Amino acid sequence: MGLSNLGSRGRPAVPEILKMLSDQGMVGGSSITQQVETALWRIAPEKVGKPLVVEEATPMIRNGVTTEALKLAFFDERKTLIPPGKPVPAVAQFWNSDPRPRLTLYRGSGAPEGKEHFLGQFEVLGLPESDNLNVSTLCVVANGQIILCARDNHRDMFLEIRRVGSEALK
């Protein structure tokens, strides 16, 4: 758990943590498994849970930094999640604790609104019928990819994200 306080700086330990997670002799009970999964969530969220690859080979990385902004539209308002010049791996949390309605992602380098590259619309599945949600939804730029991940913090479970809509929804 101490490694999880390092965030992405703990990435060199991820291969060993993944080995631990797959070895029941190491993790034993569900509470230890849960702690290991939480540590991975904080260090490299795309390695645990149910990640969705948004862009398989993103052109927005050069020399270990982002060259374009990664933006989202949520409730018809566009915000920059990850700015250009951010070291990779880069992780940003979006939405408050309730990932409804859908999220729309774009990437672009200083392009005027409406001229960015449309990446798609996405929704989190498996949300309970509750007004008291506590969901962490993360966007990760790592390993040449853009990835989305979600976790229900009340139920300590990873949630699936799916792509919805089409180019016509821009």
Domain match, 95 and 11 both: no
Domain match, 58 and 107 both: yes
CATH of the domain at 112: 2.60.34.10
Grouping H, G, I as helix, E, B as strand and the rest as coil, residue 161 is strand
* Average pLDDT of the chain to the nearest whole number: 83
pLDDT, tens only, 62-91? 999 999 999 988 777 888 899 999 999 988
Identify whether the C-beta of residue 88 lies closer than 8 Å to the C-beta of residue 65: yes
Domain match, 17 and 39 both: yes
Domain match, 35 and 72 both: no
Q: Kind and range of the H or E element at 35?
A: helix 30-43
Whole-number Å distance between alpha carbons of 70 and 152: 24
Domain match, 85 and 121 both: yes
Domain that holds residue 96: 45-169
Domain match, 67 and 108 both: yes
Q: How many domains does the chain have?
A: 2
Whole-number Å distance between alpha carbons of 76 and 56: 26
Q: Looking at residue 162, what is its pLDDT? A: 94
Domain match, 7 and 66 both: no
Domain match, 28 and 102 both: no
Domain match, 147 and 103 both: yes
Domain match, 98 and 14 both: no
Q: What are the tokens at 12?
A: 């060199």
pLDDT, tens only, 138-166? 899 998 999 999 998 888 889 999 999 75
